[in-house]
Structure 1
Amino acid sequence: MSVLGRSESTCRNYGQHVAAMALHFGKIPTELDIEQVQEYLFMLQERSKTPSQTYFKHCVYGLRFLLKSEGLPYEYLHLPSIKHDKKLPTVLSKEEVWRLLTSCQLLKHKILIGLLYGCGLRCMEVRSVRLQDLNFDREQLKVVQGKGKKDRYVPLSKHLICGLKTYIEAEKPKVYLFNGQPQGRAGGDFDSRYSQRGVQWAVKQACKAAGIKKDVCVHTLRHTFATHLLEDGLDIISLKNLLGHEQIETLNKKGYFRLKKEGS
């Protein structure tokens, strides 16, 4: 999976699901009977608490990769097809984004949310921003090895640059813009990234403080960034490049075209 360019989280998720199934039966999944596979998947589907059934889906994806790695067709285990829900992404209004930013109690969280929205970053991308990736003279941020192992540049607004300078002066980060917990012994250097859970918590807390009732997650700010640019007249090719997508069709799959058409 690593050689084929899959992300660390994908390798971990697929590996954990295949391992859990192997431990459950005491056999490698490709040695199981079709009935055993179907019963196990049904058990996961019934146990899943979320409407998206993420756990069930990741198990199927992990099994698909296992079959692919062994040169076997998906039909070998009679794996079900996964239907993708055609739902429009949640998008905040510009007024809601302003309320979100002004409701942040910590400057760190305000700048974090400012980058997620102002640059359309993914969670992993904002966690990975280093001081050396910021170019205030050219008003750019270099996103290093984003999804798909691609680099890209995104613009920084003057307002965001002003906030970044204030934050850096106050917090004095050394490597990553947003520090995590000290590594090693107590008092160690802050040289680790802010955790994924920390980013998620910051966004949830800001939404709560701002009184926003929509179902907002970290990725909502990226959807909002894209939708607002489309509404302001940005062309599709430029938006695709800013988001770091390979193909324009990806924007359609995520519902951006429908959002613009429906005026959400």
Structure 2
Amino acid sequence: MASLRKRSNYYSIVFATRVDGKLIQRAYALGTKHKKIAEQKRIQYEKLYEADEINPFDDDWNLLEYEKQQELKGTSVVSPILNELQKKFLREKTNVTAPTKRHYKYLLKMFMEHVGYTMPVTRIDADDIRAFCLRDDLANASKKNYLKHLKTFFNWLVEEEYLESNPCDKIALPRVRDNLVDKIIEEDDLDLIFKKFRQYQLKHKKAGSIQSADQMQLWFKPLITLAFYTGMRRKEIIQLRWEHINLNEGYLRVTDTKNGSERTIPIFETLYWRLIAWKKLMGNPQKGLVFPSPKSTPDREIAMTGNNVSKRFKFYATEEAKLKDTVNFHGLRHSCATYLLRIGFNVIEVKNMLGHKSLEVTNRYVHLVAKDLMRTANRNGKMNYLNEA
């Protein structure tokens, strides 16, 4: 028979037998902190011992060497482990873009850190996935994203016949209120943010705490204006190049996109003049990053850090301009969507400009401009009955 022993958070398997009435025990380290993995190995090794396929009481027998031999033979003491199968999944996942594949790799790495790299996939259940995807520290969008991608991975395991069913199917995301409206700002809010930004810079320059052009953060107004009027993602903005901006014809192209599809975005007048001024300040470059890091040199081009951009915007928007604490950089993308709908772009045009994968995503913004639609209808005399009632 075999049992488990835990010391210093690690599990060992203990084999026991009696010889001439004397109890003999042999313990072997399993090299895991995870109880499920240890229990799976205990069951399998006990079966092997009872079938006389291994002899853990032989002085020449070594558990680690035995496992290495099994791996070389292409067999395993336990069911296929998570780490090996996620590698195979990523190799065979050829129908997605490179960024999406990187996201799968990143997410599956986090999941393996949660349940154990050598966790047998047959031992993973809905509780494991629920504990990973529905943590309190995750935003609702992240919970949905994690569960969606894990579901795809486990569906693949079912298709490859490693599992009989997908444990993700037993998990339902909690219903939450769509709080997009709390993240959206208007043009007046944007003007207020820029006003507070300018006041902050002048105040600290006068006090002597700002002494260089880099500290003036001159990129702030053109970059934030670009985000508000184009709806581009943060990564798309910091990787935008002057070669992709056509100021003469009034459009820019986004080439490094999340879904792999290039898109064209018109440059509105407010943004046009911001870009003209920024380009002049930069020395009228014809190529290179639009917003290079101050650490860039003539020989080495470095993009700005996305987190720094987000933190600076959050600071001026919520701490200086005193807007809602829910306002953040990604909210500029939501703000652009509602702005476009308000000025007359239809849902399909907004979908194409923002690079949404489906109309379902874009339709989230339609109800946010319902009051504007009501005002337009009333202005055109189509709802006079409300005034007559």
TM-score, normalised by the number of residues in structure 1? 0.80
Q: Number of residues paired by the alignment?
A: 254
Deviation at 1:240, TM superposition (A): 2.5
In structure 2, what is the equivalent of residue 11 of structure 1? Answer: 101
CA distance in 2, matches of 1:219, 1:153: 20
Change in CA separation of 1:229 and 1:75 when aligned onto 2, cut-off 3 Å: farther
**Aligned Cα root-mean-square deviation (Å):** 3.1
Change in CA separation of 1:17 and 1:103 when aligned onto 2, cut-off 3 Å: same
Larger Rg: 2
**Helix, strand or coil at the partner of 2:256:** coil
In structure 1, what is the equivalent of residue 305 of structure 2? Answer: 195
Change in CA separation of 1:150 and 1:99 when aligned onto 2, cut-off 3 Å: same
CA distance in 2, matches of 1:132, 1:239: 24
**Helix, strand or coil at the partner of 2:165:** helix
Cα distance per residue 1:83-139 (max 9 Å; x no partner): 574504132122112112333343201111000011121112212210111111101
In structure 2, what is the equivalent of residue 98 of structure 1? Answer: 191
Alignment of structure 1 residues 140-151 onto 2, 5 Å: 140-151=251-262
TM-score, normalised by the number of residues in structure 2? 0.57
**Helix, strand or coil at the partner of 2:265:** strand
Cα distance per residue 1:221-264 (max 9 Å; x no partner): 12112212222233333323222235433311xx2111111459
CA distance in 2, matches of 1:258, 1:50: 26
CA distance in 2, matches of 1:29, 1:117: 47
Structure with greater strand percent: 2
Change in CA separation of 1:180 and 1:5 when aligned onto 2, cut-off 3 Å: farther
In structure 2, what is the equivalent of residue 65 of structure 1? Answer: 152
In structure 1, what is the equivalent of residue 288 of structure 2? Answer: 175
**Helix, strand or coil at the partner of 1:217:** coil
* Deviation larger for 107-116 or 243-252: 243-252
CA distance in 2, matches of 1:188, 1:165: 22
Change in CA separation of 1:20 and 1:240 when aligned onto 2, cut-off 3 Å: closer
**Helix, strand or coil at the partner of 1:149:** coil
In structure 2, what is the equivalent of residue 258 of structure 1? Answer: 367
Amino acid at match of 1:259: L
Aligned-residue sequence identity (percent) comes to 21
Cα distance per residue 1:125-179 (max 9 Å; x no partner): 2122101111111011111132311112212133322222322232356611111
* Deviation larger for 80-89 or 136-145: 80-89
Bigger relative contact order, structure 1 or 2, given CA contacts below 8 A and separation 6+?
A: 1
* Deviation larger for 230-239 or 127-136: 230-239
Unaligned runs of 5+ in 1: none
In structure 1, what is the equivalent of residue 136 of structure 2? Answer: 48
- Kept in 2, the 8 Å contact 1:144–1:151? The answer is yes
Unaligned runs of 5+ in 2: 1-89, 202-216, 374-389
For residue 27 of structure 1, the aligned residue among 115, 118, 124 is 118
In structure 1, what is the equivalent of residue 66 of structure 2? Answer: none
**Helix, strand or coil at the partner of 2:125:** helix
1:76 aligns with 2:165: yes
For residue 248 of structure 1, the aligned residue among 333, 356, 359 is 359
